[in-house]
Amino acid sequence: MGTKTAAILLTACLLLSACTANKPESAASDTSTSTKEQKTVSSETSYRNQTNRDDHNSAGKATVQLNKPVVDSSKTGESATVSATDKTYHLDKAYNVVPNQKGAEKKVILLTFDDGPKEASMINKIIDTLDKHKAKAIFFVNGYRVKEHPELLKLIHDRRQPIGNHSWDHIVLKNKSEAEVKKQIETVQKIVKDTTGQAPVFFRPPHGAGGDVGRKVAKENGLLYMTWSVGSLDWTMKKNQPNKTDAILKNVTEQLHPGSNILMHELPWTAEALDDLLTRLEQKGYQFVDPQYIELPAN
């Protein structure tokens, strides 16, 4: 009996061992795969969460940079409303742009274009370049030109560039009567508002000669009176004159200083030189003031 019992036990052990050895690997494999997938999902979730945090932080940083009050890159020109307490700059007696408080960027430039609006292609070329450099410029317009081509004024406005008053007929105002000066300034205020929905807040007298009466009438209309502190001299150049773009670069850079209020015109050679000019100014460490941050006279 003992021998038979031992034999039976041995046979049972052998059968049990065989069953264990032939057990399918699928369960172990599934467990391993499940563990790997959990690790992968966990890793991807962690990556997405980190990416989302990084995107959020980056967006926050970008917003801070875009909302800097010196250079306009996210604001929309005239359509953006800036309170009096947010005005960062003012013009001094020499018409330079000066910070209102410590800490504001001093190495800034105000860009301006006179005597328009003239041609759609030239306006678009100038504004394309301004947009490329995230810059704004005041376009000082004449009333008689606006009357002839109101669509050009609307083009400037629709492309989010500020519009200034440059008198109706581009005449010297300093020797004119107060009634004539009022007519020259106020008719431009009206036609610009009728065309765009907004009246100008900047005034530049033709030839830089407005006189005391011009200053008085400008102030009565809530206009900031200005001439310029750096002249490109583009208006002195002739169509067939060689190297005009180089001359513009030279004229501006030789006079350049912090707060420069640069006078340019809607002229083909100025439009051609503008990209190189703005690039050079940026390389010198200058930024472009958004005109909406310049302090206006009290009404």
Question: Residues 133, 157, 166, 265: which is the catalytic one?
Answer: 265
Is residue 114 part of the annotated active site? The answer reads yes
Could you list the beta-strand ranges (E) of 162-281: 163-165, 202-203, 224-225, 230-231, 260-265
Q: What are phi and psi of 195, to 5 degrees?
A: -85, -40
- Tokens standing for residue 299: 């009404």
Q: Give SS3 for 115.
A: strand
- State how far the Cα of 299 lies from the Cα of 292, in Å rounded to an integer: 17
Residue 81: closest CA among 3, 188, 198: 198
Q: Give SS3 for 48.
A: helix
Q: Do 287 and 108 form a contact (C-beta atoms < 8 A)?
A: yes
Measured on CA atoms in the order 61, 63, 69, 73, is the torsion positive or negative? positive
Question: Residues 114, 115, 234, 290: which is the catalytic one?
Answer: 114
Taking CA atoms, 39 is separated from 35, 88, 189, 272, in Å, by 6, 53, 69, 59
Catalytic residue numbers? Answer: 114, 265
